[in-house]
Structure 1
Amino acid sequence: MTNDNPIHSSVPAGISRRYFLQVTAAGVVTATALGTSGLKARAAGYEKFTWISPRGTLEVLDDYPYWSAKKAGYFGDLATDMQPGPSDGTATVKFVDVGQADMGFPSPGVFSFAIQNGMKLKSVFHMGARDTFSIAFRKGQGTKNLKDLEGKTILLGSAAWQAIVDPLLAAQGVDIKKVKYVEAGWPTWGTALAGGQGDAALSWEGLRAEWIAKGLDFEYWLGVQNSKLPANTFVVRAADLEDADKKAFLEKYLRGWAMGLEFGYQNPRAAVEAVFEQFPTLAKNLGPELGTTSILQQINVFRGDMDKRGGWGSHDMASWQGFFDEILKIGQITAPVKAEDVCTNDLIPAANDFDKAKVKADADGVKLSEGFAALDVDKIKAHLFDSAVK
């Protein structure tokens, strides 16, 4: 089952959402901001398992594995709940830390924020096997060398996204102290770039196609082509992995996501239709072709090089260690982090223990609507990266 009520309704009386998300000017989450001991995670098994978005909305194609799996019945009788969360960039980890959600989907940068602030979270299912993040430029103003951004301004939807961009730039040899950031607001930072503000903006796979639907036509430095850093991942409270009942639930839950990922890989158009059925406004705004373009961009990120992975959700520990080493150099964390201490592949075998032939049969058996059936998927794939800086 799903519940689309705003998640702030579950915050205990007396603590406003704004107060709950308060962070000090230095970026440190205070005990006051996170509430009191009454907000500790539930000790019992999950009555209803809540996943919280990092972006303040569910009306996107990014979560297609969930909606595909839900429609196909892959979650069985598990009580599941999807929440958009607030658009605050760090809410996806803070809500999990204090027990107001059970799984978050942070970027590595926001995950590092959680680690730096003592949140006992662990990455259990790595969705972003390739770096989804990109830098958008107005057409004719892009660069293949990100060092050209020194002295320039990058627009962000949330100030917290600086934790995403800083390591991406630093890994490309950029002196991040020479880069200025402006919080241009969610969801308007792309519109601000198109309107002449700033010099560039953070973007990501899937969003590129959605921006085209809004008339935002940019050129991009693409992380999927140029970066070795990891992207967003599923995190839970580390203590939950020590609870046998919760661990068993997590394995079943992640199996549902893995089956949804496999379903989308086998039939991208059917996965888009599953999301469009859930969100008619999104369907109207994107349409079949841009919807399929968006999901194909994301499938490339989520699948990665599957021949070198242990299945859907498997962490590449070398990639993660490279990320943690990079952010230590730039001061984003103040102490070394071992990837194996905060990332685990323990749940991956169980999550991938499903009948792939059945999922393929399910995906192939979907009767597509006329608009989707008419699409040439191979043609769309051939043009996925046409907007890369030439």
Structure 2
Amino acid sequence: MKPDMTRLGVNRRYFLQVSAGGLVTATALGASGLLTPARAAVYEKFTWISPRGTLEVLDDYPYWAAKKAGYFGDLATDMQPGPSDGTATVKFVDVGQADMGFPSPGVFSFAIQNGMKLKSVFHMGARDTFSFAFRKGEGTKDLKTLEGKTILLGSAAWQAITDPLLAAQGVDVKKVKYVEAGWPTWGTALAGGQGDAALSWEGLRAEWIAKGLSFDYWLGVQHSKFPANTFVVRSADLEDPDRKAFLEKYLRGWAMGLEFGYQNPRAAVEAVFEQFPTLASNLGPELGTTSILQQINVFRGDMDKRGGWGWHDMASWQAFFDQIHKIGQITAPVKAEDVLTNDLIKPANDFDKAKVKADADGAKLSDGFAKLDVEKIKANLFSGAL
């Protein structure tokens, strides 16, 4: 079965234009194919693009912590929110309007299905971050009960996330209805009585509490063996020695930011809040720290079994690719080693961990963060889980 990718906004024949005001838009191409801008041998400014249409979240804390600490050195780096279209993070990288994207495995599978020559180089989400939210008292531990029900999504492209997750739990996905309730309002729609469940993820749970949205959750981090979001680049960039060397240094900055956050989550939250004052006022220290601890649990995984920050578990990924092939999300089998690489993980993790720990331990906290009991927050990290 071939999935209806057009309905999910999937169209290979496009190119991206930048207007005078800096707005990036997608435009259909004719029969001549894709237009890719000429680029220098090394990146003039390395652009990372969000999968969610905004940067005002805590999900990217390793970057902001690393940037504040100077871990990127003299590398020219840039972060862009991108459109809220769930597939933009891979489309932009594919055509050269961004250099690295952060897709979910499902959206990465969309790129593979549509012939995009991308490769995952740094696996951020060691555990499955995705979950299903339910109104209080209406949740279930058995996702098969969602057959015949309606699940709300922020973007139609997120069906590529939910279908394999549900199928792995024995759900007949043909019996599930999806409604695109819009970003960032799909959680509010669930609370307002629409649909029966909504897709969520770690970190977002705390942000929804800050918005007054209290749900019960089936948590993938507890019940799923699948991987979560990852960093992808153009495969061709890995064949260029200069660009590969740049990527190693760039990913080292992220790895150091991850280590910094693990050693001092409160200081990492403050680094993000300094960038986004509105986010700081909306969340506050306690919920901000709760959100980042949820994400650290996902990003770190079982580090004793990993080759460092960003290491791909090929078996987990292979299970995911096998599942999406089984349900027709991709039309041909995928071998994990063909689209993922751990070649950059050793150099990315080649940093002075003692120095990063000293930096983290020495970070000065504001009063609101300093008085927080981090261990108490950790003890309640899975509050609302079914």
Does TM-score exceed 0.5, indicating one fold?
A: yes
Pick aligned residue for 1:11 from 1, 6, 17: 17
Q: Mind listing any 5+ residue stretches in structure 1 that lack a counterpart?
A: 1-9, 23-30
Q: Give the AA of the match of 1:176.
A: V
Q: CA deviation at 1:42?
A: 2.2
Query: What residue in structure 1 maps to residue 222 of structure 2?
Result: 225
Pick aligned residue for 1:270 from 246, 259, 267: 267
Q: CA deviation at 1:11?
A: 2.5
Q: Mind listing any 5+ residue stretches in structure 2 that lack a counterpart?
A: 1-15
Where 2:125 maps in the other structure, the secondary structure is: coil
- Counterpart Cα distance in 1 of 2:98 and 2:228: 21
Counterparts of residues 198-209 of structure 1 (less than 5 Å)? 198-209=195-206
Q: Give the AA of the match of 2:88.
A: A
Pick aligned residue for 2:161 from 157, 161, 164: 164
Which contiguous aligned blocks of 4+ residues in structure 1 show a shift greater than 6 angstroms? none
Query: What residue in structure 2 maps to residue 175 of structure 1?
Result: 172
Residues 335 and 50 of structure 1: CA distance in aligned 2, closer, same or farther (over 3 Å): same
1:328 aligns with 2:334: no
Pick aligned residue for 2:355 from 355, 358, 368: 358
Where 1:38 maps in the other structure, the secondary structure is: coil
Cα deviation digits, residues 310-351 of structure 1 (max 9, x gap) = 000000000000000000000000000000000000000000
Whether the 8 Å contact between 1:114 and 1:121 is mirrored in structure 2 is yes
Query: What residue in structure 2 maps to residue 66 of structure 1?
Result: 63
Whether the 8 Å contact between 1:41 and 1:97 is mirrored in structure 2 is no
Q: Give the AA of the match of 2:323.
A: E
Q: CA deviation at 1:386?
A: 1.5
Pick aligned residue for 1:340 from 337, 351, 357: 337
Where 1:202 maps in the other structure, the secondary structure is: strand
Whether the 8 Å contact between 2:18 and 2:25 is mirrored in structure 1 is no
1:234 aligns with 2:231: yes
Query: What residue in structure 2 maps to residue 76 of structure 1?
Result: 73
Alignment length (residue pairs): 370
- Counterpart Cα distance in 2 of 1:19 and 1:161: 19
Whether the 8 Å contact between 2:59 and 2:295 is mirrored in structure 1 is yes
Whether the 8 Å contact between 2:133 and 2:197 is mirrored in structure 1 is yes
Counterparts of residues 181-330 of structure 1 (less than 5 Å)? 181-330=178-327
Cα deviation digits, residues 265-285 of structure 1 (max 9, x gap) = 000000000000000000000
Whether the 8 Å contact between 2:18 and 2:24 is mirrored in structure 1 is no
- Counterpart Cα distance in 2 of 1:188 and 1:12: 28
Residues 17 and 357 of structure 1: CA distance in aligned 2, closer, same or farther (over 3 Å): closer
Where 1:257 maps in the other structure, the secondary structure is: helix
Pick aligned residue for 2:149 from 147, 152, 155: 152
- Counterpart Cα distance in 2 of 1:62 and 1:145: 28
Whether the 8 Å contact between 2:41 and 2:242 is mirrored in structure 1 is no
Residues 314 and 283 of structure 1: CA distance in aligned 2, closer, same or farther (over 3 Å): same
Query: What residue in structure 2 maps to residue 7 of structure 1?
Result: none
Pick aligned residue for 1:371 from 368, 371, 381: 368
Where 1:55 maps in the other structure, the secondary structure is: coil
Whether the 8 Å contact between 1:41 and 1:100 is mirrored in structure 2 is no
The percentage of counterpart residues that share the same residue type is: 86
1:86 aligns with 2:83: yes
Query: What residue in structure 2 maps to residue 115 of structure 1?
Result: 112
Query: What residue in structure 1 maps to residue 36 of structure 2?
Result: 39
- Counterpart Cα distance in 1 of 2:206 and 2:268: 16
Q: CA deviation at 1:187?
A: 0.2
- Counterpart Cα distance in 2 of 1:308 and 1:87: 35
Whether the 8 Å contact between 1:68 and 1:274 is mirrored in structure 2 is yes
Q: Give the AA of the match of 2:216.
A: E
Q: Give the AA of the match of 2:325.
A: L
Q: Give the AA of the match of 1:333.
A: I
1:96 aligns with 2:93: yes
Q: CA deviation at 1:118?
A: 0.2
- Counterpart Cα distance in 1 of 2:88 and 2:71: 28
Whether the 8 Å contact between 1:168 and 1:227 is mirrored in structure 2 is yes
Where 2:164 maps in the other structure, the secondary structure is: helix
- Counterpart Cα distance in 1 of 2:126 and 2:38: 29
